[in-house]
Amino acid sequence: MARRRQLYEGKAKILFEGPEPGTLVQYFKDDATAFNSQKKGTITGKGVLNNRISEYLMMRLMDIGVPTHFIRRLNMREQLIREVEIIPLEVVVRNVAAGSLSTRLGIQEGTRLPRSIIEYYYKNAALNHPLVCEEHITAFGWASTQDLDDIVALTLRINDFLSGLLLGVGITLVDFKVEFGRLYENDEMRIVLADEISPDNCRLWDSKTGEKMDKDRFRRDLGKVEEGYQEVARRLGILPEAGVRDLKGPEMMQ
C-alpha cells in the first residue's frame, strides 16, 4: 500500500488522506461487526465487493442527479472520495418491516409497510446509535431544518431509484442506511450522499424466495455470507472478473 497518512479507522473502512486537498481515499476492509461491535468476524472478499457495489450504485445515483462524495474507484479495495463534514446521523429508510422495527414495534418481519418510513439514529457508538427525532436533531444542532429537508428529499429519491434498480435484478430493497455530509464549494454548501451503499448497510432479499443476501446472513449465522454479497454483485453485473477468491492486495494509488 502506498505510504500515506491514515486519518481514521472504522469498523468496515479506513480513511486515508487523498492526493489533493479536499479528497480522501476510502479503503474497504473484510472486517464485519454487528450489534454495535459485540459480534466480530471477517467476510472474505467483502471489501472488494462493497467497494465495487458502492461505486456502481453511487454512479447510477449520480446519473439521475443525486450528488455524492464519490469521485472514482482506484483499485480493488479503494476509492477516491470528496471529504465532507459528516452529519452525525444514520438515515434509515424502510420499505418492509425487519430488524429493530419488527422487534421494537412488534410488526412481523416481511410485512410491506404502508409507505416508506425514514428514521434517524444519532451516530454515537458510545450511546449505541440511539433512535432520535427531528426535534433532537435541530435542537442539538446536528442538522438544520433546511439540511433535513434536503436529506429527506435525497433519501426518498435514493430509495425510489434503488428500489427499482434492484427489483429489476430480482432483489427487494427491504431497508438501508445512508450517511450524508456537507460539501463546501465556492462559498456554497451542499448536502451530498457519503459513506457507502452496500450489503453491509442494506437488507436485500431475493424477491421470489425471500432469501437474504446481506449482512443479516452474518448477524444471524445463516451461513453462505460471502455468497450473498457475491450474488448481489453478480446480479448487478459487476462481479470482479478475477473473482473475489483471487484478490491481490491493494495497488498503488493512481
Contact footprint for ligand ATP (CB under 6 A): 8, 10-13, 15, 24, 69, 81-84, 86, 123, 125, 179, 181, 194-195
| Four-point Cα dihedral 182, 188, 190, 196, nearest 10 | -50
Minimum CB separation from ligand ATP for residue 199, in Å? Answer: 14
From the list 239, 206, 215, the residue with the least C-alpha distance to 96 is: 206
Give the whole-angstrom CA distance, residue 112 versus residue 136.
28
153: its cell numbers: 428529499
Cell 450489503 sits on residue: 199
208: its cell numbers: 421470489
Give 105-128 as a DSSP string: H-PPTTPEEEEEEEEEEE--GGGT
Give the whole-angstrom CA distance, residue 75 versus residue 177.
25
Spatial contact of 226 and 217, defined as CB atoms under 8 Å apart: no
The residue (of 140 and 243) whose beta carbon lies closer to ligand ATP is 140
Minimum CB separation from ligand ATP for residue 21, in Å? Answer: 13
The residue (of 125 and 156) whose beta carbon lies closer to ligand ATP is 125
Residue nearest to ligand ATP (CB): 10
The residue (of 27 and 172) whose beta carbon lies closer to ligand ATP is 27
Minimum CB separation from ligand ATP for residue 210, in Å? Answer: 27
Minimum CB separation from ligand ATP for residue 167, in Å? Answer: 27
The residue (of 81 and 96) whose beta carbon lies closer to ligand ATP is 81
Minimum CB separation from ligand ATP for residue 67, in Å? Answer: 12
Minimum CB separation from ligand ATP for residue 61, in Å? Answer: 14
Give the whole-angstrom CA distance, residue 134 versus residue 143.
9
The residue (of 178 and 233) whose beta carbon lies closer to ligand ATP is 178
CB atoms within 10 A of CB 238: 15
Minimum CB separation from ligand ATP for residue 179, in Å? Answer: 5
What are the distances in angstroms from CA 86 to CA 184, 235, 243? 12, 31, 33
CB atoms within 10 A of CB 15: 17
The residue (of 10 and 164) whose beta carbon lies closer to ligand ATP is 10
The residue (of 86 and 247) whose beta carbon lies closer to ligand ATP is 86
Give the whole-angstrom CA distance, residue 226 versus residue 230.
6
From the list 157, 91, 159, 166, the residue with the least C-alpha distance to 121 is: 91
